[in-house]
Structure 1
Amino acid sequence: MKVGFIGTGSMGSILIEALIQSGALEPEQVTAINRTPQKAQLLAAQYEGLHVASTIAEVIEHSHIVFLCIKPMEYKKVVDEIAQCDRPDLILVSITSPVLIEHLESQLKCKIAKIIPSITNYVWSGASIGMYGSRIQTEDRLLLEQLMMSISRPIQISEEYTRITSDLCSCGPAFISFFLEKWVEAAVEVTGIDKKEATRLACEMVHGTGKLLTEGGFTPEQLKQRVAVPGGITAEALRLLQNQLEGVFHQLIQVTHAKYEEDLEKVHHVFYGQEVNRPQY
């Protein structure tokens, strides 16, 4: 199996490195291109055998599966280039949430899928969200899931839930890291604890909590109840969080969805030259 990558920025390079380091792909199976060639060449220098292409057509020619790891507003130009060398057996995988499967299927004749990865996939953990177009056959879906299973837990969803699942799986690490960062900062300021020590403790806590929730059989509600003894310190602190964070997660979802709809409208206009009806949240 030959896999191509158009774009080797943050997420593109994470996918390439994770798939190679996990053993899912050998460097010789990977062809990559980036608009800044030096970025792709750095990966080739790190993983001997990885091929750096000079054109998108070259990536398509050498690949059975191609991941599109580019920004939303770059898609139309790249898709126009792909259309010149498109073929029905090619599996094209978009990793960008505001670009819809219908956008790509309307322009190309190949098989279209959308997979939203997470930075957690870099350590072969977390979920990857899969959505599949009308031309994807069962064997195609299984092939993609087998590939992603080496670095994640593939979960298939309906495309209408792209944004909220991306919030939870892809944006979530940043949200959790922000919470930890502020908590550690406060711990240092109030108590004088060494920042590195506090950060290590907090990170180990998150690691262990994740294992309890994924391997230990706990739901978030069960784990909260297990730790927060009635009348105890944790329960008192949770009461504070409940009061102070009232409504903030609804606002968070509204913000991410509003930005998504703004980006979706821009992409839709680039592909079709018209506005898209935006749902209200």
Structure 2
Amino acid sequence: MMKLSFIGAGSMAEAMISGITQKKLIDQKNIFVTNRSDELKLSILQKKYGIQTSYHMEEILDQADIVVLAVKPKDAEDALLAIRPYIHSTTLFISVLAGISLTYIESILNCPIIRAMPNTSAAIGKSATAISYNNKVSDEQLNITINLLSSIGNTTVVEEEKLDAITGLSGSGPAYIYYIVEAMEQSAHEIGLEKSVAKNLIIQTLLGAAEMLTTSEKSPADLRKAVTSPGGTTEAGIRVLDNNQVKQAFIHCIKEAALQSKRLAQLNQTSQK
């Protein structure tokens, strides 16, 4: 039976654990998790998902088939050095850290390495995940990873240089949508709608729009124009968005997130020297 170990117990690790356990791809007794010092979080995860937790690195990593690194990027070096004595040449190592390159990880670990950029929608099996890998990854390990990550959403294999852009677009993407919903909820309150009514309307609106984008052959611009009647309410709202350069702000937002991923990579390369 495959053993899967997580180093880090934050939101991304939990999202993946949630998706994997819901799909029953790996038995909970063979999923191990640790973090730096948050015992309460480990206790919550253990009770919620029936997984195993420990602060003994040997217990976490002994005979692990797959190790997932899910700490903050700034803690990458410390985490990699801590687990290095327990990683074997055949251990499949998966990093979900933004901006931490394969080359950097290879400088510390000598094993098959896959970089993955999922998002937190993994918790409900709806993640958009991109992966790249080094030349030590076997076809079997690649297929295992794709199968594992596909259980929490869609998985696409890309060249590593595209991962920074994907980080900015879909890795951080759910937060951008939640940001829009925050604004919609606030506006609903200010125009006199009850919170429960507004929430249902907003969620259904998002679901409907996503389904239209999925099933329609029309472009997003054409779909928008189809709703925007001359002199109508939608046109009035869109005019405000255009006047406030909201589209440009979102473009800049995604570009900045992608640049930050590159900065993190450069920072780690500099600290390694």
TM-score normalised over the length of structure 2:
0.89
Measured after TM superposition, the shift of residue 20 of structure 1 is 0.4
Matched residue, 1:111: 112
Residue 39 (str. 1) matches residue 41 (str. 2): yes
Matched residue, 2:129: 128
- 1:38 corresponds to which letter in structure 2? L
- 2:132 corresponds to which letter in structure 1? M
CA distance in structure 1 between the partners assigned to 2:159 and 2:90 by the alignment: 23
Measured after TM superposition, the shift of residue 83 of structure 1 is 2.1
CA distance in structure 2 between the partners assigned to 1:55 and 1:216 by the alignment: 52
Residue 240 (str. 1) matches residue 240 (str. 2): yes
Percent of residue pairs identical: 24
Matched residue, 1:226: 226
**What's the CA shift string for 1:90-128, capped at 9, x where partnerless?**
110000111111101122111000111111111111311
CA distance in structure 2 between the partners assigned to 1:45 and 1:179 by the alignment: 33
8 Å CA contact 1:2, 1:64 repeated in 2: yes
8 Å CA contact 2:15, 2:121 repeated in 1: no
Gap change, CA 1:211 and 1:26, over 3 Å in 2: farther
CA distance in structure 2 between the partners assigned to 1:45 and 1:209 by the alignment: 36
Matched residue, 1:276: none
8 Å CA contact 2:168, 2:255 repeated in 1: no
CA RMSD between the two structures: 2.1
8 Å CA contact 1:95, 1:114 repeated in 2: yes
**What's the CA shift string for 1:41-74, capped at 9, x where partnerless?**
32222333x2223333332223111110101121
Measured after TM superposition, the shift of residue 84 of structure 1 is 1.3
Residue 152 (str. 1) matches residue 153 (str. 2): yes
Query: Partner of 1:130: helix, strand, or coil?
Result: strand
Gaps of 5+ in 2: none
8 Å CA contact 1:57, 1:81 repeated in 2: no
Matched residue, 1:64: 65
Matched residue, 1:5: 6
CA distance in structure 1 between the partners assigned to 2:23 and 2:243 by the alignment: 43
Matched residue, 1:186: 187
Gap change, CA 1:34 and 1:139, over 3 Å in 2: same
8 Å CA contact 2:4, 2:32 repeated in 1: yes
Measured after TM superposition, the shift of residue 224 of structure 1 is 1.9
Gaps of 5+ in 1: 274-281
- Equivalenced residues, count: 270
CA distance in structure 1 between the partners assigned to 2:153 and 2:166 by the alignment: 15
TM-score normalised over the length of structure 1:
0.87
- 1:46 corresponds to which letter in structure 2? K
